[in-house]
Chains A and B, each alone.
Chain A
Amino acid sequence: MLFAAGSLLGVGLYARRGRTRERVDLYFADGSMISIAGDSPEASRLIPLARDAIRSARS
């Protein structure tokens, strides 16, 4: 039972580790930087555009 629970936890952690957190990092001319989470409203326009660019470069 303990072994099964440990295995499940390990599988879960491994899957979580492999998933890249979507985000957008912006660096401004004044030296400041903000990191926007991928599920935020500001990133909702930027992330699909970035995906398009990555697919275009690979096509």
Chain B
Amino acid sequence: MTEAETALAELTEISSQVEAAVLFDRDGAIAGSTVTDDSAGRVASTARAVLEAAEQIRGQEVTQIQAATGEGSLFVVRDGKQLIAATTGPDPTAGLVFYDLRSCLRKAAAKPKPKPKRRKPAKRTGSKSSGTS
């Protein structure tokens, strides 16, 4: 299991509001998702289009978006080159969803911890004592 898949599994376990989520980068490469590959590709490309259109409104970098519609909300969060898009039902608790998505992004970007090396048992080099006194 990759870091992205682990982070998404934790997200869906923690957040009851998130229906679907896709982790991807600015080039559109998908790192992981909770939906089928086909759906993930469409969600990622649409989320990128939303982000680009949003940045044109003020000509400034946008880090978070909530687009609330009658059918539900689309959330997009960016952290550097990594992005996450998530969908919820209508009227989600936006602050909580943003918090969970940012945590997911951080976990997905974290490098896997190296496994602790097993110590070799120390060789006994000393001579055995005779045990006699």
Interface set of A (CB-CB < 8 Å, partner B): 19-30, 34, 36, 38, 42, 45-47, 49-59
Chain A residue with Cβ nearest B47: A53
Interface pair B62/A28, CB less than 8 Å apart: yes
* Interface SS of chain B: mixed
Interface pair A46/B46, CB less than 8 Å apart: no
Given contacts A50-B74, A53-B74, A58-B19, contact A24 B66 (CB under 8 A): yes
> B6 interface residue, CB < 8 Å from A?
no
Interface pair A56/B53, CB less than 8 Å apart: no
Give B20-51 interface residues, CB cut-off 8 Å to A: 20, 22, 35, 39, 42-43, 46-47, 49-50
Interface pair A23/B68, CB less than 8 Å apart: yes
Interface pair A22/B69, CB less than 8 Å apart: yes
> B9 interface residue, CB < 8 Å from A?
no
